[in-house]
Structure 1
Amino acid sequence: MDESSSKDNKNKRIDENSKNEQLEQYREKNTGPGEKMTSDAGLKISNDRWSLRAGKRGPALFQDFHFYKKQSHFNRERIPEKVVHARGDGAYGEFELYKSMKHVTRAQFLQEPGCKTPVFVRFSNFIGSRGSKDTAIDIRGFATKFYTQEGNYDMLALSFAVFAVADAMKFADFVHAVKPNPRTDVPQATVAHDNAWDYIANNQEIAHFIMWLMSSRGRPKSWRMMEAWPVNTFRFINEQGKSTFVRFVWKPLLGVHSLLLDEANIIGGVDPDFHRRDLHDSIKKGAYPEYELGVQLIAEEDEFKYDFDILDDTTLWPEEVIPVEIIGKLTLNRLVDNFFAEEEQSSFDPATVVPGIDFTDDPVLQGRSFAYRDTDYHRLGTGNINNIPVNQPIVETNTNQRQSDVRHRIDVDSVNYHKNSLANNTPAETPPEEGGYAHYPEKVKGHKTRERPGESFFDHFSQPRLFWNSMSPIEKQQIVETFNFHLGYVKSKSVRQQVVEMFANVDKEMATIIADSIGVNPPTGSNVPVTKSSPALSLTNTPHYAYSQKVAVLIGNGFNGEEVTNALKVLQQYGVFIEIVSEKLGTVEGADGTKIEVDKIFVSTYPVLYDSIYIVGGSTENEAKFHQSIMNFLNEAYKHYKPIGIASTGQSYIKKSENNNLAGVVFAANNPNFGEEFVSAIAKQRFWNRT
């Protein structure tokens, strides 16, 4: 770390550009006019193609230091992948505060409306390895590092409002169970196997988590369209020392949208980088991912007011009971320059907090506050994690921590301990009233015990039942389908039966339908008598926009130039992403001479990769294959309830009959409002009433 640059930040006001300015000192460009190859020691290299040998056909020589250094470095390029959340991607951006929260917290970045704080966000999948697919049925990570005036603050969120365990002691067992079988190392990135469901059936606190996993929230359409919760319960502490319980939530401005099960499975095969590609494309096109930060607040004196335990991470705080207060907006507007240096070496830790944010006795949080930093000590191979540029705070750091791997700063002090007299007892402690961190003086009483914190921790089914009650008929149908898909891979009939009996506690009818599909007996039990629902849990009323939806334009030669050009202009006006798809790359030409550049060819793209299709049709060299490709796109889009636009030259591909109602299909012929109507259909995204 450049010590002088760090010291320069001492009195510098942090803004949304501060982190980018700090990173500039680390950026290196190795290519370009006049750049000559050197070794890492600065030696100019004359030959980087052939090994040094004894004779033209002789053995390689040990004195070929260039080869040995090159190969030795290559052998050490990989670091251990994360045990969970191994696959992901990240981006930089800013968090802007809407309203002051000084009445509940002293955290500096939450004081003044309009304050902008630079951030780095990492999205990730939980189960799979680094090489797994983006669209796995899985929980997602949404980790945010705020580079604040008081040091870094890490907020580690998940795409579900609840977690799989109620105590950190069980986390390792849960991960062992959902990971690939230790004997075969298969299957990858899925819970569709015996071990996972055996664990689920025998650790029933996971029921609520599994309901979320089996729902459409387990397969987000995009990281830009995904809610996220840190799941743990924290404290806000204000200047007066008053504590308020808090949970956070990120809400995407584009709404929460998901893939169908069939889409997720197919996309995982044809484009395993689907979510990463979407993040890159959207930022490059200026369609920046945006989320609002909400908080749910509970007064200290109301801790035991509710019919759930506020410290239990397998339960959520219903928004209808504890409203979400929106306090700011996150915008991601810059991609990383180097994936390994920034994304892979990024480190997040729930114990990285700032004054005004503190811990509760949440049993999972207590374990997470240790586990994250410990695993990164192993993964990154150093105690100097915050020396790595992406993790480095912008503000000045003065510690007595010394040595270890990846130590860049040169500490010139003779004294490296506390307390001391030789350096006038510096670096000095900072009193809380001057910005030093002090833990909330929570009163603690009781005996050492391994008991659960309260009786409500044993209620595993009331909230899963509330979740089920909150779903629309379509959402319930999708949950059943996803259960069937996963349990269909479970070989043990005993495990399948146990799962059916377990989820009869959530809904007996649901469990009975599943039992019939997976070849076991109907459940004997009944669901818990909970009739409440939480409309906020359903995606039915989420915002819908055409903006940044992706449309494939299926086109050949001879199209109506004016009609197609006008339609594309309307789509562009609404921010719709357009890809021109045809038989071969180059250009297609309309009947009036209009030329359009082709982006993709049919053999290198797939209908599931698009949110909508616009069938223009036309003529090509291989008419039969062209028409077959269009019909393939049409059938897939129609089956997946997606909006479909039909140009006047494409009407022969689809006709209304007694077997289909063509819901969501918009025709351009004799329709001066085609562009606007097609945009409205794109915004709706799915037409569930289609036949």
Structure 2
Amino acid sequence: MPPKRKADQAAPTAAGPTGRKAAAKAGGGRTTRGGKTTAVGARAESVDAVQTARAQAGDYLTTAQGVRLPDTDHSLKAGSRGPTLLEDFHLREKITHFDHERIPERVVHARGAAAHGTFTAYGNATAASKAGFLQQGRETPVFVRFSTVLGSRGSADTVRDVRGFAVKFYTEEGNFDLVGNNMPVFFIQDGIKFPDIIHAGKPHPDREIPQAQSAHDTFWDFVSLHTEATHHVMWAMSDRGIPRSYRTMEGFGVHTFRLVNGDGATALAKFHWKPVAGVHSLVWEEAQLAAGTDPDFHRRDMADGIENGAPLEFELGLQLFPDSADETFEGIDLLDPTKLVPEELAEVQLVGKLTLDRNPTNYFAETEQVAFHTGNLVPGIEVTNDPLMQARLFSYLDTQLTRLGGPNFTQLPINCPHAAVNDNLRDGMHQTAVHQGVSPYLPNSIDAAPRPAREDEGGYVQVPREIEGRAVRENPVSFADHFSQATLFWASMSEVEKVHIVEAFTFELGKCYEQPIRERMLGVLANVDADLCAAVAEGLGLPAPAGAPAEVVPSPALSQVPPGPGSITGRVIGVFAAPGADLAGITKLRRAVEARGAVLRLIAPLGGVVKRARSEQIVERTLLTTRSIEYDAVVVAGGIPDFTDIKLSILLGELFRHCKVIAAWGDGDQVLTAAGIDTTAPGVVVGESVAKPFTAELLDTVGLHRVWERAAQVMAS
């Protein structure tokens, strides 16, 4: 039988290649096929697994043909020491299938993790779009895949990179894919340059290094010559390039879309995903530690959080603009994917909530085989002439043909629409639908179906537009401004964020072997900001060239530093205890932490249990098996004033250096002092007991994400 799934896991909704939902039947006896009821063996099982996307049925091990097997540990041989016989069909089938289990990984976004969930519309977007899934109270199943861009499937989660944020809405009108990133702009303006930026960012073709990194010559050679990438490079070098988790990461549709309402009126729009948990990042040392000690850091955080009852939550927002003839807003070209519109100029209107609360059942079947496509649109949402978007309309469809083995990848369970499908697409590799009728063409008078749908019947009808122009290979003049928005981003950062950007540029350019590349990139930064250029130049030991930065008005919305405490749902707080520790206090702390939606983990010197008198608590981490990256705060329990251990000192030292919260109650502050922690420093919370004032201060400070007041006295990046 299939292994029992946990409550947070479920296979894709049971939808066949025609979009029809199939009801699973269990057990033997009689089964129905095509309206006919057939008797089957008393011990046979229903094979509705094909329709319901479950792969296993029955109690016995079988071949792929359903033949029961008595042994799968030994091949068929001529005697126990003789040669293996070719007639061993089980051996041949087992090895042949194993040899073909892998499929090509994605050219980009190969490393990813995903979750199922639901999108619930607030209803306030109906004035802008007639899309059904945006109607008041409409709940739509979704599947969301987060990813890095440059790294291979086996690379680390926490590398400095752009993150993919792709959402598949299984709407009643067909699938809608919003295929975005965690940054609102991109490196290039025209999709024809996509192979160039990716070839430059990928490992060098001679040695296949470095993996999942931009800190090398070819990347910086390209972006220093290709200055339209400057704005996106600023985002990548900021803390946005190393998010704390998927739940604390913004998402953006990048491009400008055209929305159409029920009256046919249009508006231009940009999509935003706003995380309920706030926007937070790692610091650079954390990212490096995580890449080595837990390469699965982000996917583990998401899966564990969902399993612990802390779903990922985002709100969908829209920036709306008049659909003017020049497709600009406040002088910003809306067709330029290297530009954003500051939220202070166009408010983000929240129109729905995304809740991710179910982990996939099978990584390959769902996360690996899901196929997103920017051209998967529903009535009410259209594309624009953004030249990067136009190329993506081809690329995302084309890449699936090789990766998923032909044109029928839409029949894979994770890709199946939940709306009825009745097309004239036939045959091809991996065809699983059994089509009926003899006339897969239109018009026809034989089957008289399917018939085209009028707009009032839900047909997708593009808004008529006049299109004229000469065939040229050139960009609009407005695309030529490569620096002003990079300057805007820099000017909008807090001081600590600016320090991190300087250190990121210095680190990355310091990894380049060719000095002319460093010098050329300094010339680019000189046109962004003189102080930025001077600071990076100092770190590289090179002179700072002069530039001509633009005068800009900062956009506070671009900064990640929160104005006050936020949600701590899904956060992890460690509590250190040893034999003799105040276990009653730990119990009180656990209740307070869980009441705020966070998780408490007990750390101890050794595994097993921690005891005091007749009480005991189960150890979840030991000093040998844990590292500071797992925690948003660590608390030392009272009752063990004389405890010392170099591993605990390292753990607490990292937390202090990374500006995280450290706390202790009772005589636990003596443990902090022995470990070299200044108990009077900002973000170090001490109390006599686990009383409400202590837990409130502790958890509110965790809600700030970092104690940036401490940054000046430590190397926070």
Q: What SS does the aligned partner of 2:356 have?
A: strand
Structure 1 residue 503 displacement after superposition: 0.9
254 and 8 in structure 1: CA distance in 2 versus 1, 3 angstrom threshold: closer
Q: What SS does the aligned partner of 2:366 have?
A: helix
- 5 Å matches for 1:116-265? 116-265=139-288
Q: Which runs of 5+ in 2 are unaligned?
A: 1-13, 23-47
681 and 73 in structure 1: CA distance in 2 versus 1, 3 angstrom threshold: same
- The size of the alignment, in residue pairs, is 669
For the residues of structure 1 that align with 2:131 and 2:677, how far apart are their CA atoms?
A: 63
Partner of 1:532: 553
Partner of 1:399: 423
Partner of 1:687: 707
Structure 1 residue 8 displacement after superposition: 6.3
Identify which range, 137-146 or 681-690, moves more after superposition.
681-690
- 5 Å matches for 1:523-562? 523=545, 525-541=546-562, 544-562=566-584
After superposition, the C-alpha distances for 1:599-625 in whole angstroms (9 at most, x for unaligned) are 1111111112211111127669xx98x
After superposition, the C-alpha distances for 1:336-380 in whole angstroms (9 at most, x for unaligned) are 111101110000000000111111111111101110010011100
For the residues of structure 1 that align with 2:455 and 2:536, how far apart are their CA atoms?
A: 57
Partner of 1:666: 685
Structure 1 residue 685 displacement after superposition: 2.4
Q: Which amino acid in structure 2 is aligned with residue 186 of structure 1?
A: I
619 and 529 in structure 1: CA distance in 2 versus 1, 3 angstrom threshold: closer
* Kept after mapping to 2: 8 A contact 1:37/1:44: yes
671 and 566 in structure 1: CA distance in 2 versus 1, 3 angstrom threshold: closer
1:36 maps onto 2:60 in alignment:
yes
1:334 maps onto 2:349 in alignment:
no
- 5 Å matches for 1:47-446? 47-111=71-135, 113-301=136-324, 303-424=327-448, 426-446=449-469
Q: Which amino acid in structure 2 is aligned with residue 651 of structure 1?
A: D
Q: What SS does the aligned partner of 2:324 have?
A: helix
Task: Tell me the TM-score normalized by structure 2.
Answer: 0.90
Partner of 2:36: none
Q: What SS does the aligned partner of 1:603 have?
A: coil
Partner of 1:571: 593
Partner of 1:449: 472
Identify which range, 511-520 or 264-273, moves more after superposition.
511-520
Structure 1 residue 417 displacement after superposition: 1.3
The alignment-based identity, stated in percent, is 38
Structure 1 residue 511 displacement after superposition: 0.9
Partner of 1:602: 623
1:474 maps onto 2:492 in alignment:
no
Within the candidate set 608, 629, 632, 2:647 is matched to 629
Q: What SS does the aligned partner of 1:571 have?
A: helix
465 and 682 in structure 1: CA distance in 2 versus 1, 3 angstrom threshold: same
* Kept after mapping to 2: 8 A contact 1:556/1:617: no
Partner of 1:588: 610
Q: What SS does the aligned partner of 1:106 have?
A: coil
After superposition, the C-alpha distances for 1:489-514 in whole angstroms (9 at most, x for unaligned) are 10100001001111111111111111
Q: What SS does the aligned partner of 2:645 have?
A: helix
Q: Which amino acid in structure 1 is aligned with residue 703 of structure 2?
A: A
Structure 1 residue 688 displacement after superposition: 1.5
* Kept after mapping to 2: 8 A contact 1:484/1:517: yes
For the residues of structure 2 that align with 1:481 and 1:660, how far apart are their CA atoms?
A: 28
527 and 513 in structure 1: CA distance in 2 versus 1, 3 angstrom threshold: same
619 and 24 in structure 1: CA distance in 2 versus 1, 3 angstrom threshold: farther
Identify which range, 607-616 or 246-255, moves more after superposition.
607-616
Q: What SS does the aligned partner of 1:164 have?
A: coil
For the residues of structure 2 that align with 1:644 and 1:209, how far apart are their CA atoms?
A: 35
* Kept after mapping to 1: 8 A contact 2:640/2:671: no
RMSD (Å) for aligned C-alpha atoms = 2.2
For the residues of structure 1 that align with 2:17 and 2:276, how far apart are their CA atoms?
A: 40
Partner of 1:16: none
* Kept after mapping to 1: 8 A contact 2:166/2:180: yes
Q: Which amino acid in structure 1 is aligned with residue 489 of structure 2?
A: F
Structure 1 residue 660 displacement after superposition: 7.8
Task: Tell me the TM-score normalized by structure 1.
Answer: 0.93
After superposition, the C-alpha distances for 1:600-657 in whole angstroms (9 at most, x for unaligned) are 111111112211111127669xx98x62222111111111111011132322233499
For the residues of structure 1 that align with 2:550 and 2:53, how far apart are their CA atoms?
A: 60
Partner of 1:27: 54
* Kept after mapping to 1: 8 A contact 2:570/2:597: yes
* Kept after mapping to 2: 8 A contact 1:22/1:394: no
23 and 589 in structure 1: CA distance in 2 versus 1, 3 angstrom threshold: farther
553 and 23 in structure 1: CA distance in 2 versus 1, 3 angstrom threshold: farther
1:645 maps onto 2:660 in alignment:
no
Within the candidate set 543, 548, 562, 1:521 is matched to 543
4 and 207 in structure 1: CA distance in 2 versus 1, 3 angstrom threshold: closer
Partner of 1:18: none
After superposition, the C-alpha distances for 1:403-458 in whole angstroms (9 at most, x for unaligned) are 1122111012111112222223x211111222111122111111100010x21201
For the residues of structure 2 that align with 1:325 and 1:599, how far apart are their CA atoms?
A: 42
466 and 553 in structure 1: CA distance in 2 versus 1, 3 angstrom threshold: same
After superposition, the C-alpha distances for 1:212-247 in whole angstroms (9 at most, x for unaligned) are 000001000010010010101110012232221111
For the residues of structure 2 that align with 1:666 and 1:188, how far apart are their CA atoms?
A: 40
For the residues of structure 2 that align with 1:679 and 1:627, how far apart are their CA atoms?
A: 26
Q: What SS does the aligned partner of 1:468 have?
A: helix
1:499 maps onto 2:557 in alignment:
no
* Kept after mapping to 2: 8 A contact 1:559/1:649: no
For the residues of structure 2 that align with 1:670 and 1:359, how far apart are their CA atoms?
A: 59
386 and 5 in structure 1: CA distance in 2 versus 1, 3 angstrom threshold: closer
Q: What SS does the aligned partner of 2:252 have?
A: coil
* Kept after mapping to 2: 8 A contact 1:554/1:617: no
Q: Which runs of 5+ in 1 are unaligned?
A: 10-20
Structure 1 residue 300 displacement after superposition: 1.3
For the residues of structure 2 that align with 1:365 and 1:536, how far apart are their CA atoms?
A: 25
